[in-house]
Amino acid sequence: MRSRRRHVPVTTIVLLTVGAVVLALVSLEIVPNPDVGGGARLVVFLLLVPPALGLAGAVTASRDRRLGDQGRVLWSVASGLGGFLQVFLAFVLVTLIAGP
């Protein structure tokens, strides 16, 4: 019996990890939070990074030829949802650290 090796889309994993690191830096207040114009803070714009990276990871997973059809769909959906879920987890983390 031949063992089947599963392929993991490395680019997708890297993009989701970068999004998680950005949110961790923002949540733990390691990144400064200056005004960037119009009264908006830098954190507001940084919250858009993980969903954008998750969607970029979904695109790269859907175009990966080494994945099967089912693998492409699963990795694309997981990456897209993962990017949006990271933002909600950041709100929970900030609430646990700073209090309600």
67, 4 Cβ separation under 8 angstroms: no
User: Above 90 in pLDDT, residue 96?
Assistant: no
Q: Which helix (H) or strand (E) holds 37?
A: strand 35-37
pLDDT at site 84: 92
Q: How confident is the model at residue 47 (pLDDT cuts 50, 70, 90)?
A: confident
C-alpha span between 65 and 67 (Å, rounded): 5
Residue type, 41: R
C-alpha span between 79 and 88 (Å, rounded): 15
Mean pLDDT of 18-45: 79
What is the DSSP-derived secondary structure letter of residue 29?
T
Mean pLDDT of 50-76: 91
C-alpha span between 7 and 82 (Å, rounded): 19
User: Above 90 in pLDDT, residue 65?
Assistant: no
pLDDT at site 46: 81
Share the mean pLDDT of the chain.
84
pLDDT at site 37: 67
First to last CA, the chain: 56
13, 77 Cβ separation under 8 angstroms: no
User: Above 80 in pLDDT, residue 2?
Assistant: no
User: Above 80 in pLDDT, residue 40?
Assistant: no
Mean pLDDT of 56-85: 91
